Structure 1
Amino acid sequence: MASCYMRIAVTSAEYPPETGWGGMGTFTYNLAHSLCHLGHRVTVISRGSASRSESLDGSVRVIRIPWERRRFPLLRNTLNSLWYSAKVSGELIRLNREEKLDVVHIPEYRAEGFWFTLFGRSNIPVVNRFSMPFWIDWKIHSADGRERSEISCWNVDPVLMKCLERKVYRSASERISPSRGLAELIQAHEKISLDIHVIPTGVDTQRFFPRDASPLRRAYGLCGKKVILYVGRLEQRKGCHIIAQALPRVVQAFPDAILVMIGQDADTSPDGRTSMKEYINRFLRDAGLETHMIHIDRQPYHRLPEFYALGDIFCAPAIYENFANVILEAMASGLPIVTTAQGGSLEAVEDGKNGLLVPVNDAATLGSALIRLLEDDQLRKTISNSNREKSIQRFGLEQMTKGMLRVYESAIRQSAHR
């Protein structure tokens, strides 16, 4: 049945290049193109910045809904989510009238499928893939006073958001999680049993592979340096400030060590007063290490592979990630990895085999792990080779896409028997 032609709609707040700023956009791009490559018809509904538009990205049809975050005085996240969800529902209903959809793929993220699952789905099979539930994100950022006051009114906003997201995934025909850890976390907060398929995120191993970084290293003055690479938004949840806190220990052992951070700045620093980039710059300046960090702004997806080649070590010290695309991209690029023992990292990285795992929010242990890899050339080489092989065998796009299709087919069968 996997070879049967399907008409598939995928909703995602992020889709490159216009709004492809994170892991959700990368996942949606890879999934949509992989499905089209197998002969399916795929339409992506995503956010845009201007008027409604339609375009073709290769064989993928892309519909963009104009999006501007409204400054509601109360319940800002709930009301913005309901507004955007109504727009998504309207597009899905119109699209189904136009071409009779076989399945709709909707994330729980900020409940963008709420109105469609409540009123618009008719008998269309809906598959939910968990991304980053709002209540997890809110819990991580709740220590930031500015963030907390912005998103909550006596904590009602996150409670309502949790209810909206729950409606989306409880109403789905099938549910998918990128990691066992996230599936177990969702189950632990549910009063009913949910069947959740675990399908790891895939990486394009033909796009990401080990390559020569000499030209780019020369361009950034990194020849002869020990480069610790971070890729991702500069935000608190991703733990990028922990690398900065670990850097003094690393530089003491390796004076030629330098931290390269690639990603968009965000207003989620630990002190709640500055952007993360400003927070890190101030910390390193106070430590006399401002020359040991280079920030490169977020790069287009097609250019990212050459930037991974800059690193000797890839560092991803997240507080929580369900399954980070950047870890898979670093693995496919043949980089040794130091990451935190949380979320999907525990399922991608085996401590001592294809990377090193450290506790969350532990700058001292993180620094020691980075030093260990910088000291041991053979260990770095062994881990690099293991990562490339593992990315191909376990985390290729083909494995992910076939898994998704099996779940789509199950959802269609369930719908046919209703």
Structure 2
Amino acid sequence: MTDPLPRYEDILAPYACKPSETRGRVFKEPETANRSCYQRDRDRVIHSSSFRRLKHKTQVFVYHEGDHFRTRLTHSLEVAQIARSICRSMHLNEDLGEALALAHDLGHPPFGHIGETVINECMKDFDGFDHNAQALRLLTRLEHRYASFEGLNLTWETLEGLAKHNGPLVDKPIDHTNPPESLPFGFRDYLPENDLMLHTWPSAEAQIAALADDIAYSSHDLDDGLRAGLFELDELKNIPVVMQLIDEVKWTYPDAPKDVMIHELVRRLINRMIADLMVESGKRIQALDPDTPDDIRNAGGPVIAFGKDMADAVKTLKGFLFERMYRHYLVNRMGSKAKRVVLDLFNLYISEPECLPTEWNARAGAPNSAETARVVADFIAGMTDRFAFREHAKLFDLNRVSL
């Protein structure tokens, strides 16, 4: 007779988040026999309308500029793959890591950070706009799929990890029933229902999802920039790790075509970053010697991190991409158009809420009121790039008859 297979929780580290120890959901639901609570969270994110809309939301290049460039959806899938692999290798909960990775960009409006900047400026007199807080708002308020509650009713660990995957949002415990005004609106609106302990670090799984995001967008934006011809391989010579890998690829495959060399570079860069993260994180966890997930939360600093040399290399790479890609004139031109689209739509909807679709107009208040501003921000933030362009054409092209 063979030994029975170990339970999933038995192979997890003691400081991993375990389904049997979850702090649960705001609205109580019976659990299922064939999926853990974190698997259900992941599946609810995947089946949400917000997740589907990521298909046509900008990563760097607007959707119609090429079929092979990343969108928010493909980026989120790549982050999830990296997070899942790291969690598995470190005996952490890969279902929770995957759920967080898939959900981390849900709050981004159309046109990426440019869209967020414009909406935030439009909302400066109405509590502002923050994409991370908007993700929490989507998952707890705006998604309407269930008859018993608003949102997706995700577990505490998923919501906590989403809210503070980049670290604590406040420097000391707060009264969650009366959140400070310094917090973005989405957090202040939700915290009275559910204390997410914003003064602590998140779980190790959430920290992995955050760095998986860094790994994915640094390497894949580099890939997209090279393939778009915004810069060449030889221009990366001031980024030590990257240049070392380029030399390695050229030496190993001297006759490989450019597109294959780019792929070989990117896959090696991802592997190098993951390996470095696991070595450094292993050292930090060994020094901390945690016994529970709360030991990770109360560590006083991140336990998942790059080593110093890799952290410096990633910072240099981000700086290069900022100057040579995110500020490239082709990206700037589309960004300029995107600013006008979002600004025009916001100004029209807030002053004429009757132009909003019926279900959104029903939630709005008086023209130019704070209530209407938040409805407009929610509506625009949920748009895809192409829907925003279409709405703008319908409302501002005076020669267009069809609405």
TM-score by length of 1: 0.27
TM-score by length of 2: 0.28
**Relative contact order (alpha carbons < 8 A, sep ≥ 6): 1 or 2 greater?**
2
Compare the two structures and name the one with the higher helix fraction: 2
